[in-house]
Amino acid sequence: MKTVSTTPFEDQKPGTSGLRKKVPVFQQPNYVENFIQSVFDSLEDFTGQTLVIGGDGRFYNREVIQKAIKMAAANGFGRLLVGQGGILSTPAASNVIRKNRAFGGLILSASHNPGGPNEDFGIKYNIGNGGPAPEKVTEAIYARTRVIDSYKICETPDVDLDRIGRVEVGGMDVEVIDPVADYAALMEELFDFRAIKAMIAGGFSLTFDAMHAVTGPYAQEILERRLGAPAGSVRNFVPLEDFGGHHPDPNLVHARELYELMMSAEAPDFGAASDGDGDRNLIIGRGIFVTPSDSLAMLAANAHLAPAYASGLKGIARSMPTSRAADRVAEKLGVELYETPTGWKFFGNLLDAGMVTICGEESAGTGSDHVREKDGLWAVLLWLNILAKRGESVQAIAEGHWKEFGRNYYARHDYEDVASDAANSLITELREKLDRLAGTSSKGLVITTADDFSYLDPVDGSTSANQGIRILFEGGSRIVYRLSGTGTSGATLRVYIERFEPDAAKHDVATGEALADLIAAADEIAGIRAKTGRDKPSVIT
Ligand code: G6P
Ligand code: ZN
């Protein structure tokens, strides 16, 4: 074991989901070591305890895992579990941490961002409940990165990550584990596999696009081997270091082929995709895309059809920018609805306290108390379980849902890679005029409330301020503005636009049309075009 002296990097502040940078940034000498040592230095005593490590298999994954193993040994962990090939999907890592009562875990991923020698990489620390470290931990890590002067590492040979089994590294036990087995077993406990299997055997067709990312092996094992979907139902199933040159982001832009298939005459009954690290999901029925916000509401309304949720939900949580469709489901079920800032880490306390069962975000994340991360395949399986039990199509379920609860037309407009100064000043100016907006109108829409979202965590009493600007209109429409916390170059302005339509006769309008006046108001209120120089968003989801 040796102690190596080092000097701090100024840019190691974790964002919405860990530290994300371009690969060449991580490749700077000591960059990875500084961050990992800062994580270890910020934790309470873990001597002899278990650490879990896994990643989404992107470029640089194996190198960082080797460093992390040697550093974990030098810092005194007693046991380390690592997925074979360095692979663990994010929800599977959460499960491994929980199941093995590990002290915590390092998840190496930049989620849905592209991978490759000049693309993105990321390191995130998860705590013993299996969920992302809360803000007080990430702040401590950041503070440590600013003063760090040395790190500890064992000078031992690399571990063979491809061979399942046990080895010793500097006195620490290292186990290379099957990344899929425990996760697949958990899914089998939660859902009615027999009903889904019977539906598939009866001719129900599905396609799952793994986007050359981490869920390929998981989806093949669960959907094809255990549930009997024909070979080929899982596409792009080989995880690649650069995701085949694509963005492993399951949205209508990057999963375009799947979308087009689902809108065509050859569409199977059900289409789905997941992202780089397996925590996001995209759900498309034949001829109908289900927005993540609607998916959360529909899953919550029907969850009792799956064995794990048969006794009902304790509560529902959604991130603030997620549409309010789930709120009306919570109301009907008579359970509490919690509105949290963007970032899965904010659900952790509510889940641990048993206050909520299901959580979701507009950014294509849905999950439950089975782990402490959002879970792409879980959402797919819950949908399949519901479809099997109801015997109806996705379209029929969605239309029935809107009829009962009303429809929240919803879109997110992203302005990517905007100059940071311009994006910051847009938000600052908006913030300055918030007090004066209520009672005024824009494009004929009357503003009832305008504020900057601040969250008081009901479990630990902590406050997170400045979490996004909300403009609420008469009739339940809403515009939210915030800057992304996950980008790696420039700033990304996100504008979330939502209209509530209770009238079933008006549930068949194209989203762009239903939101047209709000889109114009969003520009008028914040001066998006003038301040960013962009005349349209880079991505609409
Ligand atoms: C990650 C986080 C999510 C978050 C999303 C968007 O996927 O895990 O919780 O919703 O990023 O974050 P952003 O700050 O880019 O809007
Ligand atoms: Zn992800």
Digits of tens for pLDDT over the chain (541 positions)? 999 999 999 999 998 889 999 999 999 999 999 999 999 999 999 999 999 999 999 999 999 999 999 999 999 999 999 999 999 999 999 999 999 999 999 999 999 999 999 999 999 999 999 999 988 999 999 999 999 999 999 999 999 999 999 999 999 999 999 999 999 999 999 999 999 999 999 999 999 999 999 999 999 999 999 999 999 999 999 999 999 999 999 998 899 999 999 999 999 999 999 999 999 999 999 999 999 999 999 999 999 999 999 999 999 999 999 999 999 999 999 999 999 999 999 999 999 999 999 999 999 999 999 999 999 999 999 999 999 999 999 999 999 999 999 999 999 999 999 999 999 999 999 999 999 999 999 999 999 999 999 999 999 999 999 999 999 999 999 999 999 988 777 899 999 999 999 999 999 999 999 999 999 999 999 999 999 999 999 989 8
Burial of 253 (0-12, 13-18, 19+ CB in 10 A): middle
Which residue matches tokens 């425990």? 182
Which ligand has the minimum distance to the alpha carbon of residue 348? 1
Active site residue 111: yes
| 266 and 172 belong to one structural domain | no
Cβ count within 10 A of residue 77: 26
Strands 120-127 and 19-22, by their bridges, are antiparallel
User: CA-CA distance, 313 to 99, in Å (whole number)?
Assistant: 23
Q: Which two tokens stand for residue 436?
A: 């004066």
Euclidean distance between CA atoms 138 and 132, whole angstroms: 9
Domain final position from 372, 405, 438? 405
User: Which atom of ligand 1 is the closest one to the Cα of 492?
Assistant: 15
Domain count, the chain: 3
Residue 361 in contact with ligand 1 by CB distance below 6 A: yes
21 & 55 share domain:
yes
Ligand 1, atom 2, lies closest to the CA of 343
Ligand 1 contact via 366 beta carbon (within 6 Å)? no
CA of 221 to the centre of ligand 2 (A): 20
Relative to the alpha carbon of 486, which ligand is closest? 1
Q: Phi and psi at residue 284, in whole multiples of 5°?
A: -135, 125
Q: Is the CB of 373 under 6 A from ligand 1?
A: no
Same domain, 196 and 334: yes
What is the token pair recorded at 373? 């991360």
Atom of ligand 1 nearest to the CA of 16: 14
Cα(119) to ligand 1 centroid in Å equals 18
539-540 vs 407-418, strand pairing mode: antiparallel
Asked if 330 and 466 sit in the same domain, the reply is: no
Taking alpha carbons only, the member of 324, 327, 307 closest to residue 315 is: 327
Dihedral angle computed from the Cα positions of residues 230, 95, 239 and 279, in that order, rounded to the nearest 10 degrees: 90
For residue 439, what is the domain's CATH number? 3.30.310.50
Ligand 2 centroid – CA 111 distance (Å): 4
Question: Do 189 and 307 lie in a common domain?
Answer: yes
Pairing mode of beta strands 79-87, 172-177: parallel
Ligand of minimum distance to the alpha carbon of 56: 2
Among 368, 390, 405, the domain-final residue is 405
- Which domain does 121 fall in, by range? 2-179
Under 8 Å CB-to-CB from 487, ≥6 apart: which residues? Answer: 416, 417
- In this structure, the answer to whether residues 397 and 430 fall within a common structural domain is no
Atom of ligand 1 nearest to the CA of 343: 9
Q: Name the 3-class secondary structure at 153.
A: strand
In the set 17, 38, 109, 111, the catalytic residue is 111
Residues 163, 200, single domain; the answer is no
Beta strand pairing call for 104-108 and 120-127: antiparallel
Strands 445-452 and 358-361: unpaired
109 and 198 within one domain: no
One domain, residues 380 and 430: no
Cα-to-centroid distance, 485 and ligand 1 (Å): 7
Q: Is 456 helix (H, G, I), strand (E, B) or coil?
A: strand
Give the orientation angle of helix 90-99 with respect to helix 376-390, to 10 degrees. 90
Domain match, 232 and 145 both: no
Q: Is 539 in the pocket of ligand 1 (CB under 6 A)?
A: no
d(CA 494, CA 484): 7
Q: Which is the closest atom of ligand 1 to the Cα of 486?
A: 15
Measuring from atom 1 of ligand 1, which residue has the nearest CA? 17
378 and 428 assigned to the same domain = no
Ligand number with the minimum distance to the CA of 107: 2
Cβ of residue 286 lying under 6 Å from some atom of ligand 1: no
Say yes or no: 393 and 462 in one domain.
no
Nearest atom (ligand 1) to Cα of 362: 10
The CATH number of whichever domain residue 369 belongs to comes to: 3.40.120.10
Ligand 1 within 6 A of CB of 16: yes
pTM value is: 0.96
Question: Does residue 346 have its Cβ closer than 6 Å to ligand 1?
Answer: no
Look at ligand 1, atom 16, and give the residue with the nearest C-alpha.
484
Q: Of 144, 162, 179, which closes a domain?
A: 179
Establish whether residue 84 lines the binding site of ligand 1, counting it when its CB lies within 6 angstroms of any ligand atom.
Answer: no
Report the DSSP pairing between strands 445-452 and 441-442: antiparallel
Dist. CA 279–CA 93, nearest whole Å: 11
| ipTM metric | 0.97
